[in-house]
Structure 1
Amino acid sequence: MYHFFRTQKIIWMPQELDAFQPYPVEIIPGKVFLGNFSQACDPQVQKDLKIKAHINVSMEMGPFFAGDSDNLLHIQIEDTPDVKIIPFLRHLCHFLEIHLELGSVVLVFSTRGISRSCAVIVAFLMHWREETLQRSWAYVKKCKNNMRPNWGLVTQLSEWEKIVLGDTVTDIFNPPY
């Protein structure tokens, strides 16, 4: 599916490996990717993955889709434990669902791609699949093993679970949260 990853090379030089930039991780095959700000600003990544829309969960403004509210959802929040993300989740889920229906490829990103953007993806999967925080968390963790939403986001994901499922099922005080 990703022809640009194929190579005939067997042995890589250290300089080549240093220059190699990782791509965003695939959350929904060929449709939703999770990455960081530098990946979102890389035109080669945009082209290779055929990105048609962005969800930017950071304070920075990316170069793609600026001023295009149909293809850019920019949620300007800091990565702090007291930040409120719950008010944005319904709109965010709606934005993602529309793009999935249209067949667009969406990149969800934050500054480092490990806290805010991961929390957003977990929230979307809980909504879209109508599943628990625990199941969505495990799925995203399998795709992106260095995910680590801050504690404030985790508690809001627990609140979101209650909104989506009608009750809190997941105990966020047990690991791995």
Structure 2
Amino acid sequence: MNSQSNLMNEISKVKSRLKNVETIVTNENGNVSVEARNNEGCFFKVREDNAKKREGFVVDLKPDFEIAKVTDHIFLGSQDVAMNEHLLKENNITHIINVSIDVPNYFPDKIVYLKLQMYDRPDTNLNDYITCINNFINETIANFDNPRIFIHCNAGISRSVSVTIAYLMLSCGMSYNEAYEKIKKVRKNARPNDGFVNQLKNLQK
């Protein structure tokens, strides 16, 4: 009994010497809070720390004006193109699919938009978006004369690429690898996050 009591006392002493560790928690809307653990082992919020607010998407500050032609009707790129009226006109863009969180529809009087707020997170469910996007693309192609649809997120790397892959798979009969390689040829930095890759591969099962 004494040995057990001594062990418990030693454990208590060690615990008392341990430094309290704060954990930074970022939720899906980018808000940041700091949490710590109490003596019972439960976590509690210490403070909000929105000075460190983080976005739920890839942030890329370098201008990217590439417009990648995926098909005769589908084009892919970043938010930089979406806000550049000259580029959009030059490439005869008639429709835009915007899957960013906070990039506005810049030219609603001149271009037809589909805006869906989508986070670049592995646990974001693509099925919540791809049916609507595919319907929009297919109906646009069927009802407009030579439409040119530009699909973008922020960086044009993960979200916009993923929904375009889903379109190629579900509406054009491609496998994941075929769709990804087709896009990779025209958009070298295309890279869906790992969660999106797994979900897209499951579409062909």
* Structure 1 residue 141, shift from structure 2 partner: 1.0
Unaligned regions of 5+ residues in structure 1, if any?
A: 1-19, 162-167, 169-177
Q: Could you say which residue in structure 2 is the equivalent of 1:28?
A: 71
Could you tell me how far apart the structure 2 residues matched to 1:23 and 1:47 are?
Answer: 14
Deviations 1:46-85 (A, max 9, x none): 110111111011102231227x9x9211110111111112
CA RMSD of aligned residues (A): 2.0
1:49-68 matched pairs, under 5 angstroms? 49-60=91-102, 61-65=104-108
Alignment of 1:94 with 2:135, yes or no, is yes
* TM-score, reference length from structure 2: 0.63
Q: Which entry has the higher C-alpha Rg, 1 or 2?
A: 2
Aligned 8 A contact 2:105 2:113 in 1: no
1:113 matched to 2:156: yes
Identity within the alignment, %? 26
Please give the residue correspondences for 1:1-177 in structure 2 after superposition, counting only pairs within 5 Å. 22-29=65-72, 31-60=73-102, 61-65=104-108, 71-101=112-142, 102=144, 103-161=146-204, 168=205
Greater helix content: 1
In structure 2, the gaps of 5 or more residues are 1-62
CA contact (8 A) 1:82 1:152 kept: yes
The answer as to whether partners of 2:77 and 2:150 remain within 8 angstroms in 1 is yes
Which stretches of structure 1, 4 residues or more, deviate above 6 A after TM superposition?
none
Deviation, 1:119, is 0.5
Calculate the TM-score normalised by the size of structure 1: 0.73
Cα distance, 1:159 vs structure 2 = 2.5
